[in-house]
Structure 1
């Protein structure tokens, strides 16, 4: 699999082939989240990722297999509250692999690319959030050396 940073020329295909399918899958698996498929949602995605292209504190890598887009990972630099020691963390905000190539190493390769990006920016940690019932993703992340450090707890206010 080829991994390369997202470029302006990739935006339309990225949004249509990876970002929207990833968000649709996420919305289908998360209680209380409905995807807003209004007109302009593609432009919203393009605009968001276009802005990230010029931001040195974020990265999006695309995975390609035989020229086809098959996955992506997005990461950003984060710092703790100013009262704590000034360290950087590499936060993976999105990782998605198309269903037809899952469990063939693409997710790990994309995660490794984000980890290397964070390492080159002197990050002390890599972190991410994962749904507790997403066993495949939890397995991938544990195999990559991530451990659960906190629990995110939620309560509906409806």
Structure 2
């Protein structure tokens, strides 16, 4: 698998082939989230990732097999509240692999790329959020050495 940073020239294909399918899949599996399918949705994605390209504190890697986009990972540098010792964190905000490519190492390779990016920026650790019932993602993350440190709890406010 080839892994490279997202480039401006790749934004259209990235948004159409990876970002939108990832967000649609996420919305389908999460209560209370729906995609706003208005006109301009692709431009919203392009604009969001275009701004990330200029930000040194963020990264997006795209994985390809045989020239086809098969997944991506996005991360950003974070720090704790100002009262705590300054420790950098590498936070994975998105990791997505197209369904037909899953369980063949793409997710592991993308995660390894962003781990190295965090190491090179003196991050103390990598963190991410995952749905409690996403067994495939949990297995990938556990096999990659991540452990649950806290729980995010939620209650609908109807």
TM-score normalised by length of structure 2: 1.00
Quick one: distance in 1 between partners of 2:38 and 2:133?
Answer: 29
Quote how far apart the aligned CAs of 1:143 are. Answer: 0.2
**Unaligned runs of at least 5 residues, structure 1:** none
Runs of 4+ in 1 over 2 A off after TM superposition: none
Q: What whole-Å deviation, never above 9, does each CA across 1:51-101 have from its counterpart, x for those lacking one?
A: 000100000000000000000000000000010000100000000000001
**What residue number does 2:69 align with?**
69
Instruction: State the secondary structure of the residue aligned to 2:136.
Output: helix
Cα distance in 2, alignment partners of residues 73 and 24 from structure 1: 16
Q: What SS does the corresponding residue of 2:48 show, helix, strand or coil?
A: helix
Whole-Å separation in 2 of the counterparts to 1:37 and 1:140: 31
Q: Which moved more, 1:127-136 or 1:33-42?
A: 33-42
Taking the aligned partners of 1:11 and 1:118, their CA distance within structure 2 comes to 23
Residue 53 (structure 2) aligns with? 53
Which blocks of at least 5 consecutive residues in structure 2 are unaligned? none
Question: 1:108 deviation in Å?
Answer: 0.3
Q: Can you list the C-alpha shifts for 1:113-140, whole angstroms capped at 9, x where unaligned?
A: 0100000000001000000000000000
CA RMSD in angstroms comes to 0.3
> Per-residue CA shift, 1:30-57, capped at 9, x if unaligned?
0111111111110000000000001000
Q: How does 1:1-158 map to 2 (within 5 A)?
A: 1-158=1-158
In 1, the alpha carbon distance for the partners of 2:85 and 2:134 equals: 33
TM normalised by structure 1 equals 1.00
Match of 2:124, SS state, is strand
